[in-house]
Structure formats: C-alpha cells, structure tokens
Amino acid sequence: MTRLESAFGAVGSAQATVVTGAGGLPMQLADLPTSGPWGEKHLLGLERLTAAQINTVLDLAAHYDQATNGGTERLSVLKGLVVANLFFENSTRTRTSFSLAARRLGADTVDFTASSSSLSKGETFIDTALTIEAMGIDLVVCRHRTPGAPHLLARHLKAGVLNAGDGTHEHPTQGLLDIYTIRKHCGRIAGLTVALVGDIRHSRVARSNIHGLVKLGARVIVCGPSTLVPNEIRQLGVDVAWSLDDILPEVDCVNLLRVQFERQRGAFFPSIAEYANLFGMNGDRIRKARPNLLVLAPGPINRGVELTPDVADGPHSVILNQVSNGLLIRMAALSLLAREHQKKQDAA
C-alpha cells in the first residue's frame, strides 16, 4: 500500500479516486483530487462540517503531502487568485503558514496588520474589509479577538472567508491539522482516546478539536483545573476529568493547551508551579502513559508549564510535525474554498 492509499484508507472513506494533472499534481481547481463532499464557501468552524467534509480536507492534505514532497514544491492551482491575511491579533505560525500555503499554490498574498491599518484612524472592521476586497481579493484569512468576527465578514464579503481563530470560539485549521497529525501517526481517528489538557475554557483550539474528533468517532476527554473546564462542555459529547494522572493510562494522544493568560479575567489557579505539577506533561507521566502515547501542542508552548523540555523535544512529541502538517491542511482548505469561489463566479 502506498502512503497515499494508506492515508485515504485510514479514515475508512470510500475508495478514493485521485485525479491529477500532468506529473501527478493537480494543476487546476477543476481537477482538484477530492475524495468526498465539500460545497462550503467559507471555513468558519468544524462545528458546522460533517465527518465526510472533514475527511475531504484531510484527504486532500494527504494528497498534497505526497504530491508536493511535504509541501516543499510549488503548484499553480491558485494562480491568478489573491489571498488576503487579515490578522487583528498576534500570530506567528498560523499567519506564516497561511501565507506560505497560498504562495505554494501559486496565489498572490496581501498581508494586513491591524496596528498599521486605517482601523487606528477610526475605520470600521467591515469598511476595512470591504476596502481590501475592492482590490480584487478572492479569499480572506481572518483572525480576530472577537468570537464571530469572521462570520460577520462572510456575510458582507463576496470573497471566501477562512477563520484563523476568533476569540475563544473556533480555530478550524488548527483543529484539522491536529486531527491530521493524529491520523497520520495512529493510522485512524475512530476508536482512539484523545485528551485535551489545560485551559479548555478559553481555548478555541479545544472547541475545534472536540467538534472534529467527536464527529470522526474518537473518545475525547477534557482535563484541567475545574475553574478552566466549563461544565457545559459535556454537551459537546466529551468526558470531563480533573486528574491527568487518573486518565493517562487510557489515553492514546494528549493535546496540551496553553494557559491563555491574555484571555483570563481573574486568577483561575493558585500558581504556575502548581498548574505544572498537576497538569504538566513531564518524564514521570510519560513513563506511566501508554508506550505509543502521542504528545501534541498547538503552540506557542511554554516550556516548564504545559510540558517539560524533555517531553517537548522527546520521541513522543509531534509538535513540529503539527507545524509542517499545518501547511498541508491550509493548502487543502484554501484550494477547496477557491474552487467554490470560482464556481460562484462562473455562475454569476
């Protein structure tokens, strides 16, 4: 079985028909080798996607992985299109990853930062976005501290909108890249037990992971200080635990979420040392866990808080693989939305 076949087979999707252009690469949006349904103009969250749609993104990312040698070769799928990055909140990896993904696919990119824009001169969020769109933008990648900001853009713009993190709500491409990384290392999602550990209350990454993992048949346990794990989270189909040591023996993957101090209003635990002691991943805990435990973290990581350096750099960690996979997931998401955008334009 080839790597691509195993990636397609792993999620139990129907036999994939991979249609490629010259040299095995998809050269035009119309030739995109999709394995299942999509049909979405925007990517705003995983809550509104079906399992089949999620698998379509994961499978296309797996295709790009193979076809572009891990995302290192350039394609021309998005040639002639313009992708705008609208980041109203700090970002290192997500912003860079989206820019690189767009350029790897042949698109032009425009970068916009809130602090250097006319927003500081009083222009509204929508007016800024409409101004940027009037320059001929096809896709907009938006990060904003307010939940729902990308949804608002989607209602006002003709461009396709990708949510790159809206406050504490969702961060769909991070959820997808985490799930892709798990699928690639474990060969499946269904039947796995995944623990999301830390600041669940303020984490958009937790919410996107939960929606995606539950839809694909994983058991999700959220674990953290009781002040950082809201009770309502059970409604999303997860189990709740307060002790990492209790759940570790039954866990296949652990995703360590940063304590989002910048989003907290008040003290949620007595000290960082106590947090690290109860919920940090360290060598002792690794020794008590399953031998194949996969350790993920969306980053930025705080060494000594969510995890110790020996775990971050050790054999269980796939933290840097997540970053590389993020490029592939964003290439897949951008192409799927670009195809819908083009269909709408052709129909107009």
Whether 288 is a known active-site residue: answer: no
Whether 3 is a known active-site residue: answer: no
Of the two residues 165 and 225, which places its CB atom closer to ligand NCD in the complex?
Answer: 165
**In the complex, what is the shortest distance from the CB of residue 178 to ligand NCD, in angstroms, rounded to a whole number?**
10
**In the complex, what is the shortest distance from the CB of residue 174 to ligand NCD, in angstroms, rounded to a whole number?**
5
**In the complex, what is the shortest distance from the CB of residue 51 to ligand NCD, in angstroms, rounded to a whole number?**
23
**In the complex, what is the shortest distance from the CB of residue 165 to ligand NCD, in angstroms, rounded to a whole number?**
5
Whether 96 is a known active-site residue: answer: no
d(CA 119, CA 125): 7
Of the two residues 117 and 260, which places its CB atom closer to ligand NCD in the complex?
Answer: 260
The neighbouring-strand residues paired with 317 are 295
Yes or no: say if 174 and 163 are a contact pair by the CB < 8 Å rule: no
**In the complex, what is the shortest distance from the CB of residue 143 to ligand NCD, in angstroms, rounded to a whole number?**
8
The active-site residue, picked from 41, 93, 151, 156, is: 93
The active-site residue, picked from 144, 171, 202, 341, is: 171
Yes or no: say if 248 and 289 are a contact pair by the CB < 8 Å rule: yes
Of the two residues 212 and 298, which places its CB atom closer to ligand NCD in the complex?
Answer: 298
Q: C-alpha angle 248/253/259, rounded to 5°?
A: 80
Whether 184 is a known active-site residue: answer: no
Of the two residues 51 and 86, which places its CB atom closer to ligand NCD in the complex?
Answer: 86
d(CA 189, CA 195): 13
The active-site residue, picked from 143, 215, 330, 341, is: 143
Residues in contact with ligand NCD by CB under 6 A are: 93-94, 165, 171, 174, 204-205, 258, 260, 298-299
Of the two residues 62 and 205, which places its CB atom closer to ligand NCD in the complex?
Answer: 205
- Tell me which residue has its CB nearest to ligand NCD: 258
Whether 93 is a known active-site residue: answer: yes
Q: Give the residue numbers marked as catalytic.
A: 93-94, 121, 143, 171
